[in-house]
Amino acid sequence: MSEILLEIDGQKVKAKTGMTVLEAAKAAGIRIPTLCYHEKLEPYGGCRLCIVELGAGERKKIVVSCVYLAEEGLVVTTRSEKIDRIRRTIIELYLAHAPDAFELLELAKEYGADRDRFAKEASFCVHCGLCVRYCAEVKKKFAVGFVDRGTRKEISFVPEIAAEECWDCKECFPLCPTEALQAAFVLMRALSL
């Protein structure tokens, strides 16, 4: 693995080939907000909160830092008026689904997001996929998955697998940025008893 040198927020940062921009920033102690990132899991790029700007001047482009590989000489900006504005809207959209999620409210404070900008449609799950991916990639149990699509997409436990595996594990519970996961689990249990 060779070393590459890039610049993040004006700071020279060393990274190894194969690292994402997010990982390079993290290693250098530069914080980029994330919701669907987890160090034990494959990059997912689902929440879009970790966007950053590449390049300088007129030729900037926005990329998703948790799936964008670091390159030699890259110039990265993690905060700008444009990035903040986009992040704010993303947070506001998530808050329409999970208005009381602590993690989201903290982010809202930081980015000046208005919790009530969009009409509430409390589905609680924000589709970050952490529970689904953790169960599949780390535990290899596949007890919880996504079903349906678009506005009706939701997580769903497979009752037969959950009955055997989940009670003693529950490692996905603290990963959920909202409480949707626990609610779904309780509901599934109630329905299958």
| Interface with ligand FES (CB under 6 A) | 34-37, 45-50, 64, 66
CA 141 to chain centre: 21
Told to check if 26 binds ligand SF4 by CB under 6 A, we report no
* Binder among 10, 39, 149, 168 for other proteins (CB under 8 A): 149
Please identify, among the stretches 15-23, 49-57, 106-114, 177-185, the one whose residues bind ligand SF4 according to the rule CB under 6 A: 177-185
Member of 130, 135, 143, 162 binding ligand SF4 (CB under 6 A): 130
In the bound state with other proteins, the residue whose beta carbon lies nearer, of 73 and 150, is 150
Binding piece for ligand SF4, criterion CB under 6 A, among 6-14, 107-115, 157-165, 178-186: 178-186
Torsion of CA 54, 60, 62, 68, to 10 degrees: -30
Q: Decide if residue 188 touches other proteins (CB under 8 A).
A: no
Region class of 188: left (phi > 0), else alpha (psi between -120 and 50), else beta:
alpha
Q: In the sheet where 11-16 sits, what is the strand order?
A: 11-16, 3-8, 75-77, 51-54, 61-64
